[in-house]
Amino acid sequence: MQFICKTATLNQYKSDCTVIFVDPKAALSTAAKQADDLCEGALTTAIQAGDLKAQTGSTLWLYSPNGNAARVLVIATHNKTAAPKQSHLVDIEALRELTQATAKALITKDIAHASIHLDTLILEGITAEALAHEFSYSLEHATYRYTATKPSHAPLPQLKKATFAHDNKDSVKLLKAGTTSGYATAKGVNVARELGNLPGNICTPTYLAQQAKKLATNCTVLTTKVLNEAEMKKLGMHSLLSVSAGSDQPAKFIIMEYKGKTTKAPNVLVGKGITFDTGGISLKPGAGMDEMKFDMCGAASVMGTFQALVEMKAKAHVVGVIAAAENMPNGHATKPGDVVTSMAGKTIEILNTDAEGRLVLCDALTYVERFKPKSVVDIATLTGACVIALGHHATGLYANQQSLADQLLASGRATHDRAWQMPLWDDYGKQLKSNFADLANIGGRAGGSITAACFLSEFTKAYPWAHLDIAGSAWHSGGNKGATGRPVALLLNYLLNNA
């Protein structure tokens, strides 16, 4: 989408639709009265008739025979719990309701250009920059449609342009900054959604590598390097390679480096990129196995975050590493009971080949030591146990430094891409003892998400590290099946705040 921010009064410029915000329980503002006049009193009539509900996000369509826009979209801002001084959190939640309601309404109509008058929206504690960020994010996010393998898809939204109008020129400067960040974040989230939604016969490790290279094309601040299996073997990544041993698809190790006008030590992202997970010899049940195409959503979130960094020309130094492989059973596949040696030199007894994510991540976490990172965050659809513990709302968070955990938790709250901290105690790590190797790759049913994190922690002693288990938050099942693009927003907020 194209976003324009300008100083403008109601009805000053032409568009397909004018969007204003009205509290049905309050007196009409000057702009609302003007809109009412353009609609020949229809707004007042509709409010008196109860057609505009006094509930935040309620919508009303009016026609404006005398205006520069044929339609007026009225969004209700009333909050029945409003107090004389609302908290910032309440206002942010109300704002998100308003932006999502606006986006949903606009994309259902044959509207190519909407003029959204943000000066008609006043929320306590919310800056013009925050307004523009949330609106541009919601509008860009709402225009995404998966079409790659569905030629019979519903028509794409007509909305291609949004003008954020304000009667204060100083506010317009802030609107521009917020629009840049909001659009870039949504663009990154949508990239992650698209990669996650692609089927495993298209989105292979090789495809992921190609997309990473494509992103770096003609981009002076981003470089991409891809290691093949021979190069990984030379580095000693036998744990990672044990996962791809049963697949005809070769593993790929993708290294992306974004240098945006800074030479400081990088923050590093590590993404699990299992493009399809059968469980290997420890075969998964057939029901629901189609959703294992989403097992690369950690990698997708890294790609989406880098897309956003490029879009906003962020002043940050970030390294992204993706361990991409397909977990399949054949005569060469790794077997339960096999012992492999990781890049760190630790031996691992593989008790369950379906606990493969930690096997690719441990070598990636060892590899990134060479960057002398400021922090390392890995993102993985790692355990079904995390879904049982936290459901589908929160991402599981583990960290070896509390300050890092606090920063990520704060970023989750700020973006509504929330995480919940879980324990990382030595007591759980004892479950990974093996009679035949330094570590077992599983620790039993009890605390499965925690023991998986404990396994990874054995390879992260050299730097501040956090693990995000997104098994519950990376995609939706059922009739609304599809990738969510989480936790791109959380990661981007964290990186920008710690650049």
Active site residues: 284, 358
The identity of residue 224, as a single letter, is T
Please give the biggest Cα pair distance in the chain. 83
Residue with tokens 């920063």: 407
Bridge partners (DSSP) listed for residue 322: 254, 271
**What count of Cα atoms within 13 Å lies in the side-chain half-sphere of residue 134?**
23
Report helix angle 30-38 to 42-49, nearest 10: 100
Taking alpha carbons only, the member of 110, 106, 95 closest to residue 19 is: 106
Report how far apart the first and last C-alpha atoms of the chain are (Å, whole number): 27
For residue 480, give the DSSP letter: G
Pick the closest to residue 102 from 146, 142, 52 (CA basis).
142
Structure tokens at 495: 């990186």
What span, in angstroms and rounded, lies between the C-alpha atoms of 240 and 235?
Answer: 11
Q: What is the 3-state secondary structure (H, E, C) of 77-135?
A: CCCCCCCCCCCHHHHHHHHHHHHHHHHHHHHCCCCCEEEEEHHHCCCCCCCHHHHHHHH
Helix (H) or strand (E) holding 270: strand 267-277
Read off the DSSP letter of residue 229: H
Contact yes or no for 418/397 (Cβ under 8 A): no
Contacts of 154 (CB under 8 A, 6+ apart): 145
Residue 364 contacts residue 254 (beta carbons within 8 Å): no
DSSP string, 34-57: HHHHHTTTHHHHHHHHT-S-SSTT
Contacts of 269 (CB under 8 A, 6+ apart): 301, 302, 305, 318, 319, 320, 321, 376, 377, 378, 379, 491
CA gap 3, 132 in Å, rounded: 10
